[in-house]
Amino acid sequence: MTNLKAIITKPTVCMSKKMTPGEVLNSVVKGINAGDLDSLMTLYEADACFATQPGQLAKSPESISQSLRNFINMNGKLDLKVKRVLQASDLALVITEWSFSGTGTDGKPVNMAARSSDVLRQQANGAWRFVIDNPWGTE
C-alpha cells in the first residue's frame, strides 16, 4: 500500500518548478489525463479536503486519493480553463470551468462539466498546494 502522507510531503518533479496557482490547476489536467495519481497527490496539503460531489467532502489523503483514482479509472479526458485567480498573501482562490468525458464502470459514457472553486496555499518553498479542492464550485 502506498504511503499517501509521504507522497503528499515528498518533493517531486511536478512540485520542483514553482508553479502559479493557475498552473497547479493545469497540472491536475495533466495528472488526470496521464493517470498519474502520485503526482496529483503532491498537489494537496496533508489536511486538504476534496468535494467528491456537492455536499460531500473527502478529508484524508486516502479518501482524496480514492476520489482522484475514480476519475482516473474512467480513462477519460479532462479539459479545464482557469477563469480567475484571486490572491491574498499566501492564499489563492482559483475559479475554473472544466469538462470531463470518460467511461463509467458500467461501460457507459460519463460526461461532466462544472465550475470549480479551489483554495490553494503557498508553501514555505514557494510551491502552491490545495487546501480545498471543490470541482463543483458553489454547488
Which amino acid makes up residue 37? Answer: L
Q: Label residue 16 by pLDDT band (50, 70, 90).
A: very low
User: What is the pLDDT of the chain when averaged over all its residues?
Assistant: 89
The predicted model scores a pTM of 0.85
pLDDT top residue among 19 and 10: 19
- Which of 8-12, 52-56, 79-83, 116-120 is predicted least confidently? 8-12
**Mean per-residue pLDDT, 108-136:** 96
Contact 29, 43 (CB under 8 A): no
Q: 74-109: string of b/e by CB count within 10 Å (b at 16+)?
A: bebebebebeebeeeeeebebbbebebebeeeeeee
Half-sphere exposure of 137 (CA within 13 A, CB side): 13
For 17-64, the pLDDT digits (tens) are 689 999 999 999 999 999 999 999 999 999 999 999 888 999 999 999
- What pLDDT sits at residue 4? 44
* All domains of the chain in start order, with CATH: 4-134 (3.10.450.50)
